[in-house]
A and B are shown apart, each in its own frame.
Chain A
Amino acid sequence: MELDDLKSVWKHYNEPQIQPSLDETTIKKILQGKTQNIIDKIIQNIILETALLVLLLLGSLFLFTLPLDNILWYANLCYLGLCVASFVFYSLLYRQIQKFHFRVQNIKTELEQLLLILHNYISLYTIVGVALLPPSVLFGFFYGYFKHGGYWQDFSQNIPKTLLIVALLLACMLVGFLFVKWYVKRLYGRYLDTLRTYLQELQEI
């Protein structure tokens, strides 16, 4: 049996009288449903994460109005910088998606654009996740340490203890980094690989 022999089967299989016929009410009902499209989900995530960033930004600005000691002031500055940088990146990504979204293109171009957007989104997600780790771990540790009566001098007076703390903090950051990498791969890894394979298939040699 050849592929051409199957044309008649395909035609018969898809004849209008054996396909369900949609009426206006059903079409309208369908349009009210939620989309599972990856780009729409990314847009939703960007909006949600930007709202969260704005809240963090406001919180960080509010902290500057309080009397902070040096360590807290620098940690807060760090957070503020990260928030502003993330905000700029999210805005750029959102603009890029809006440019591409809803402009119907051929399958190859669509795949290229989709991969580009996913790559940028995942990179941004990973960079923000990883960049937040050191200030979060250090801020948490020093804040707790000084709050419980610790002093800077303690670190220079007890070197083995200091080294142990540094090792623990580094281990925390490493675990966090590995978790972010694993999580991103688990979320998008297989999907990205499939899309890349499809695109490769459309590349003419």
Chain B
Amino acid sequence: MEKEQIEAEYIAMIKQHQGIVHKVCNMYCQGDKEDKQDLFQEILIQLWKAYPSFRHESKISTWMYRVALNTAISNMRKQKNSIKKVDIAAPALKISEVEYDYEYEEKLKFLNQAIEQLNDIEKAIVMLYLEEKSYEEISEIVGITPNYVGVKMNRIKEKLKKMIKN
């Protein structure tokens, strides 16, 4: 397959499934716009590098979650350097304005606080859970058995309950 064709396919895929990348960035880089842009850029590059070897053996979303989560987890976020970044909030990417209600904002604040308490592995599992993925699908992405996904979820829920009490 020619490079242009692969690139066109890849761009179409990103346009269709870019929500996955945004979600992973929202989960791993809360509040820090620059970190979020770094991670977004990194995930897109890794997806591009891995794309030619994508064999369609798994669902495209499963494959994208794997690449995006692996990139987020292995990313050395603390070490910032001066890589030229593409501003993803630049004119080409205007965010539509949506009005938030206070209750929603409260819940969102709690969600953000809860996420902050989790380590990178827990974040991956919680994100997939919030995305309503089945334990089988989570186990396929994370690499643990569905039973152990259940164990991890219970532990995370306990952790969050303690957080609410405090």
A104 at the interface (CB under 8 A from B): yes
A106 adjacent to B140 (CB under 8 Å): yes
B44 adjacent to A105 (CB under 8 Å): no
Could you tell me the distance between the alpha carbons of A139 and B148 in the complex, rounded to whole angstroms?
Answer: 58
A17 adjacent to B53 (CB under 8 Å): no
Could you tell me the distance between the alpha carbons of A191 and B144 in the complex, rounded to whole angstroms?
Answer: 23
Could you tell me the distance between the alpha carbons of A28 and B15 in the complex, rounded to whole angstroms?
Answer: 12
| Chain A proximity of B78: nearest CB distance (Å) | 8
B129 adjacent to A103 (CB under 8 Å): no
| Chain B proximity of A44: nearest CB distance (Å) | 13
Could you tell me the distance between the alpha carbons of A195 and B74 in the complex, rounded to whole angstroms?
Answer: 8
Could you tell me the distance between the alpha carbons of A24 and B136 in the complex, rounded to whole angstroms?
Answer: 34
**Which residues of chain A have C-beta atoms less than 8 A from B83's C-beta?**
33-34, 36
**Which residues of chain B have C-beta atoms less than 8 A from A114's C-beta?**
74
| Chain B proximity of A199: nearest CB distance (Å) | 9
**Which residues of chain A have C-beta atoms less than 8 A from B45's C-beta?**
30-31, 33, 35, 37
Chain A CB within 10 Å — which of B19, B49, B86, B164 has the most?
A: B86
B42 adjacent to A202 (CB under 8 Å): no
**Which residues of chain B have C-beta atoms less than 8 A from A15's C-beta?**
98
**Which residues of chain B have C-beta atoms less than 8 A from A33's C-beta?**
41, 45, 83-86
Q: How many chain-A residues does the 8 Å CB contact rule pick out? A: 53
| Chain A proximity of B145: nearest CB distance (Å) | 7
A104 adjacent to B50 (CB under 8 Å): yes
| Chain B proximity of A18: nearest CB distance (Å) | 5
A10 adjacent to B111 (CB under 8 Å): yes
Could you say which interface size class chain B belongs to? 35 or more
**Which residues of chain B have C-beta atoms less than 8 A from A48's C-beta?**
none
A102 adjacent to B74 (CB under 8 Å): no
A19 adjacent to B19 (CB under 8 Å): yes
A27 at the interface (CB under 8 A from B): yes
B120 adjacent to A13 (CB under 8 Å): no
A159 at the interface (CB under 8 A from B): no
A2 adjacent to B121 (CB under 8 Å): no
A154 at the interface (CB under 8 A from B): no
B74 adjacent to A18 (CB under 8 Å): no
A36 adjacent to B92 (CB under 8 Å): no
A153 at the interface (CB under 8 A from B): no
**Which residues of chain B have C-beta atoms less than 8 A from A195's C-beta?**
74
A18 adjacent to B50 (CB under 8 Å): no
Among A19, A36, A102, A197, the residue within 8 A (CB) of B75 is A36
**Which residues of chain A have C-beta atoms less than 8 A from B131's C-beta?**
10
A102 adjacent to B49 (CB under 8 Å): yes
- Once A6-B110, A10-B111, A34-B83 are accepted as A-B contacts, the answer to whether A108 and B120 lie under 8 Å apart by CB is no
Top 3 A-B residue pairs of the complex, sorted by shortest distance between their CB atoms: A108-B143, A106-B143, A20-B93
Residues of A within 8 A of B (CB): 1-3, 5-7, 9-31, 33-38, 102-111, 114, 191, 195, 197-198, 201-202, 204
30 contacts between A and B (CB under 8 A): A1-B110, A1-B164, A2-B157, A10-B130, A11-B130, A13-B26, A13-B108, A14-B22, A18-B96, A19-B18, A20-B22, A20-B88, A20-B93, A22-B92, A25-B92, A26-B90, A30-B44, A33-B84, A33-B86, A35-B45, A36-B38, A36-B75, A37-B46, A38-B76, A102-B52, A104-B63, A107-B121, A201-B119, A201-B121, A202-B143
